[in-house]
Structure formats: C-alpha cells, structure tokens
Amino acid sequence: MTRSHLLAGRFGAATRLSPKALRLYAEQGLLVPAHVDPQTGYRYYAAEQAPRARLIARLRQIGLPVARIAALLELSPQARAIELRTWLEAQNERLAGHAELVGALARQADATTPPLAIGLRDVAATKIVSRRRLVTVVDLDAYMAEAEADIRAHLTASGLAHDGRMSVHHHDLTTRDSEGPVEVAIACEGLVEPTDDLLIRLLPAHREAFVPVPAGHENFPLVLSIYDALETWIDRRGLIAIDNPCEIYPGSSGAVFDIAYPVNF
C-alpha cells in the first residue's frame, strides 16, 4: 500500500460514491478495494481506481442495473458507447409506449365512453385448434394473421370446414414492451390432429359477459377503456370473471370483434 491509497470515506467523497454504494460494488465485484487492513478492517482504494468508480457512478445515475454495468465495464470505450446508445433507443421506445398509454388514459378521463351494448350469453362447448406464443402488442397483429392463416390451412388439409370463428385468448398482460402469452384459436368440428405447435383442446360450456367493441376503439391503447368498462359492468352485477378475457372475431352487431369474459353462472 502506498500514499496514493485512500480510505473508503475519502475515496467515496472524491468519486461521489456513498459508503453503502462502495460496499455494494465491492460485494458485486465491480469495485474491489485495493487493500483491506487485516487488523482494522479499513478498506483502501488506489488512486487509479477513481476513473472506474466515476464511470460506475455515472452508469448508475442513468438507471442501469448492477449486472449490466458489470458487463459494460469490460468493454472498450467504443463498444461501451454502442451498447449505451442501443440501450437508450430501447428506453426511448419504452417511454414512448408509456406516453401513449398515459395519453389514452387522460383522454378517457376527459371524455365519455361511447354507448356499449354489454350483455350475457351462454356458449356451448367448442373444439378449437390453437397456437400459443409470447408476443408484445407491437407484434400482435402480425402474429394473429399468421396463426389464423396456418390454422385455417391445417383445417382445410384435414378435410374440415375452415370458416369457424376466431378467438384470441390473452392469458396474461401484453404491452408494447412486455411479452404476454396469447392464444389464437379457430372453432371447428370433426376429427383433426395436432401438428407442430398447433394444439387441439375443448373449451367447456360457459356463460360469458361480452361487449361489441365500438368503431375507433379496436386498437391499443383505446381498447383498454372497453376492457375497463366490461370489467366494471361485471363487478357491479356481482359476477366473477372465472378466466382470462378473449376477443372474438367477427364481433356481434357489426363490430370487428367482441371482448368477452367467462363468468360464473
């Protein structure tokens, strides 16, 4: 150890890192003290560690997680700059999606929801051919079109009618920056075998609360207001949604699609 070594407190003051941050970065292996006194336990840092410490502080300041910082520290300055620009572009896209959603929620607060024809209906047990995949809202339309075409082609190849209604089942939340499991299904009758990632299953008979989606509200994020209205309608009538929602194409009353929740009898 030389005179160029600084105690943790002085080193932290020089690099704007708190004692807690220095301990965390030492535990994570990002910034290990150059020397630890075995008698006192005092931690000392070398002067040449200061640039690395300041870089860590700046990367933390922009919100990067410790694990990602560890990877960035091993890169050359040029490679690090490329990675940071890529990360920033992804952050901008995520924030743009959030801004769109906030704007839609604000518009909902300022405007009345269009008249909705919400109702209840009984649905018979139905055989479906389906495909399930993790997708974001950005990829949803393309995935739905591809899955529908593949399923209808498989039904045709199996010698069955391929004109059954399509349902899209959202098994978890799907957003612009978060993938959710989405199942595209076509109703069918007759013997059909599964193939590749196309599955066969039976939707049990059930009652569902449904609403035809009014024109102009079919796309994200405005469609969320229709989901909200249907969920509120279900709650106010003392019903319980017993499964995830689905969208049914074509919808009733001339709508592009209905939103439906299975509910208790």
- Note whether 47 and 145 are same-domain residues: no
Rounded CA gap, 188 and 195, in Å?
Answer: 15
- Note whether 158 and 222 are same-domain residues: yes
Q: Report if pTM > 0.85.
A: no
124-173 pLDDT tens trace: 999 999 999 999 888 999 999 999 999 999 999 999 999 999 999 998 87
Q: What's the confidence (pLDDT) of residue 1?
A: 54
- Note whether 216 and 131 are same-domain residues: yes
Q: Is residue 214 one of the residues assigned to a domain?
A: yes
Rounded CA gap, 32 and 181, in Å?
Answer: 42
Residue 74 DSSP label: T
Rounded CA gap, 94 and 67, in Å?
Answer: 20
- Note whether 51 and 173 are same-domain residues: no
State the total domains in the chain.
2
Rounded CA gap, 253 and 88, in Å?
Answer: 45
Q: Which of 52, 74, 96 is the last residue of a domain?
A: 74
Phi, psi angles (nearest 5°) of residue 127 = -85, 135
C-alpha distances in Å from residue 245, one per residue of 26, 172, 182, 204: 48, 9, 11, 15
C-alpha distances in Å from residue 187, one per residue of 127, 162, 198, 207: 6, 8, 13, 17
- Note whether 67 and 186 are same-domain residues: no
Q: Is residue 248 one of the residues assigned to a domain?
A: yes
Rounded CA gap, 102 and 36, in Å?
Answer: 50
Low-confidence ranges of the chain (pLDDT < 50): none
Rounded CA gap, 15 and 23, in Å?
Answer: 14
Domain of residue 194: give its range: 119-263
Hey, which residues does 186 pair with through a beta bridge? Answer: 129, 166
Residues in contact with 48: Cβ distance below 8 Å, sequence separation at least 6, in sequence order:
4
Closest CA to 250 of 167, 171, 170: 167
- Note whether 127 and 237 are same-domain residues: yes
Q: What's the confidence (pLDDT) of residue 101?
A: 67
DSSP 131-145: EEEEE-HHHHHHHHH
- CATH number of the domain residue 159 falls in: 3.20.80.10
- Note whether 58 and 165 are same-domain residues: no
Q: Is residue 111 one of the residues assigned to a domain?
A: no
- Note whether 139 and 248 are same-domain residues: yes
- Note whether 258 and 131 are same-domain residues: yes
Q: Is residue 36 one of the residues assigned to a domain?
A: yes
Q: Which of 44, 59, 74 is the last residue of a domain?
A: 74
* Neighbouring C-beta atoms of residue 174, cutoff 10 Å: 19
